[in-house]
Structure 1
Amino acid sequence: MTTVLTCTELDAGYSQGRPCVRDFDLELQEGEVLALLGPNGAGKTTVLLTLAGLLPSLRGTVDIAGHQVKPGHARGASEGGLVFVPDDRALFTTLTVEENLRLAVKSRRNWAAARDTVLGHFPELDKRLKVPAGALSGGEQQMLAIGRALVQNPKVLLIDELSMGLAPVIVERLLPVLRTVADTTGTAVVLVEQHVQLALAVSDTALVLRHGTNVLQGKASDLAGDPKLIEDAYLGAAGHPHPGVAEPSTVA
């Protein structure tokens, strides 16, 4: 398989010399879905912002499809094929659903195919194309945010807190779409999500951050089968060996 995202010895944070994420390593393969988990304040969003080039790294490297991205160079990350969906969705609320999607399509000639792709995943948006994004429900707004990301044909898709403000039944509807996208297009997905079991159900691998440190990493199916292992990682317990799961690193 092809590696599409690599970061090595990444320190991330908001002031030089005071990283809130330390020595973060990640290698993501084409079509892989990674659940990036951890309690509030663990550094998950900081990692995504740094990978997307919206926050300069304090140390380490980020490579997208074999090309190193300059720290804090969001355009370079985007040109490399990385697309970031933030937790506030960043929609143009006064523009219609169609206008939001059209702005993300790189070529007008690709508009019809791009629209059909989005509506294939989210048929609920078909009758809402002429509606301002600000008038959509929370679930519809998240569909639009994900759809706008997909029409950019990302190699790497980062999604921060997909479930923010949404009912669990909507989250259960949206998460499998990411699995389908990864399987059918080869897009690699990094998913930050507080609904742990729902996230693990659609992921290949999972990683738990606590206080900016990777304390647990392994196959999503293994972690889903041992909730106590994740609970220990969240709370700072030592953890215990599990087949196929990397032994936790030292907890900060």
Structure 2
Amino acid sequence: MNAILECAGLDAGYLAGSPVVRGFDLTLAPGEVTALLGPNGAGKTTVLLTIAGLVPALGGRLAIDGKPLGKGKARAAAKQGVVLVPDDRSLFTGLTVRQNLALCRRRGGTTVERMLEFFPALGKRLKIEAGKLSGGEQQMLAIGRALMLQPRVLLIDELSMGLAPVVVEELLPVVRRVATETSAAVVLVEQHVGLALGIADHAVVLVHGEQVLTRPASELAADPSILERAYLGELPAVTG
């Protein structure tokens, strides 16, 4: 199956000559979910921002459907189907749920009705301002709004931010379903590691900007000690 997203030797950061992420490699096929894991400050959000075109790549190759992405061009990335759900959700809090969704709908794209199949709880909240929703409902809306853009690559940064674990347990399986039913490739940054591994196909671990581990998610779920060693810096950076 052809890859949607390809990162090869990607250097990412905010100052030319000073990458905070070095030599990052990732290939994702349609419908695959990768959990991007690591301690705080490892560079996970920087990777997502770079793929989304919000931060220019400092080196390496970044392509969607085999076509190179313009460095630091968010509009170009969006046109190629890259959609980011940031950790602050970036909702228009003074607009209703329906208005937030309408702002993101593409002609001939995903309908509100289709989006509600993934998040039926929003069905009774369409006339409510986004700022009056619960944290879980706001996250549903943030992901639902992204789906209105028909993403080829869906990037989700810290889905669980500010949410109770029970809410995260409900939302993560929906992410899995989104990938399966829409064929979007998903990159998920998540601190609830066990839950993330439960819905992901692959896992990548970053530590201090270095890619130290790339394994099937099921393998890491079965042997958490591998992940613990990676977080503690006891594994060498991935090479080759």
**TM-score with structure 2 setting the length:** 0.97
Paired with 2:153 and 2:57, the residues of 1 have a C-alpha distance of 18
User: 1:3 maps to which residue?
Assistant: 3
The 5-angstrom pairing of residues 88-99 of structure 1 reads 88-99=88-99
Q: Secondary structure at the match of 1:119?
A: helix
User: 1:79 maps to which residue?
Assistant: 79
User: Larger deviation: 119-128 or 135-144?
Assistant: 119-128
User: 2:61 maps to which residue?
Assistant: 61
Superimposed CA distance per residue, residues 163-184 of structure 1 (whole angstroms, 9 cap, x where no aligned partner): 0000001001100011111111
One-letter code of the match for 2:201? D
User: 2:237 maps to which residue?
Assistant: 249
The 5-angstrom pairing of residues 216-235 of structure 1 reads 216-235=213-232
For the aligned residues, what is the CA RMSD? 1.3
Q: How far has the Cα of 1:25 moved from its partner?
A: 1.1
User: Relative to 1, partners in 2 of residues 1:21 and 1:135: Cα closer, same or farther, differing over 3 Å?
Assistant: same
Superimposed CA distance per residue, residues 52-81 of structure 1 (whole angstroms, 9 cap, x where no aligned partner): 000011111210111111110101110001
Unaligned runs of 5+ in 1: 239-247
Q: Secondary structure at the match of 2:111?
A: helix
User: 1:153 maps to which residue?
Assistant: 150
User: 1:16 maps to which residue?
Assistant: 16
Paired with 2:129 and 2:238, the residues of 1 have a C-alpha distance of 49
2:133 matches 1:136: yes
Number of residue-to-residue matches in the alignment? 239
One-letter code of the match for 2:227? I
The 5-angstrom pairing of residues 169-248 of structure 1 reads 169-238=166-235, 248=236
Q: Secondary structure at the match of 2:103?
A: helix
One-letter code of the match for 2:95? L
Q: How far has the Cα of 1:249 moved from its partner?
A: 2.6
Unaligned runs of 5+ in 2: none
Conserved in 1, the CA contact under 8 Å of 2:176 and 2:199? yes
List structure 1 segments (4+ residues) > 3 angstroms apart after TM superposition: none
**TM-score with structure 1 setting the length:** 0.92
2:123 matches 1:120: no
Q: Secondary structure at the match of 1:3?
A: coil
One-letter code of the match for 1:201? G
Superimposed CA distance per residue, residues 196-229 of structure 1 (whole angstroms, 9 cap, x where no aligned partner): 0100000000000000000011100001111111
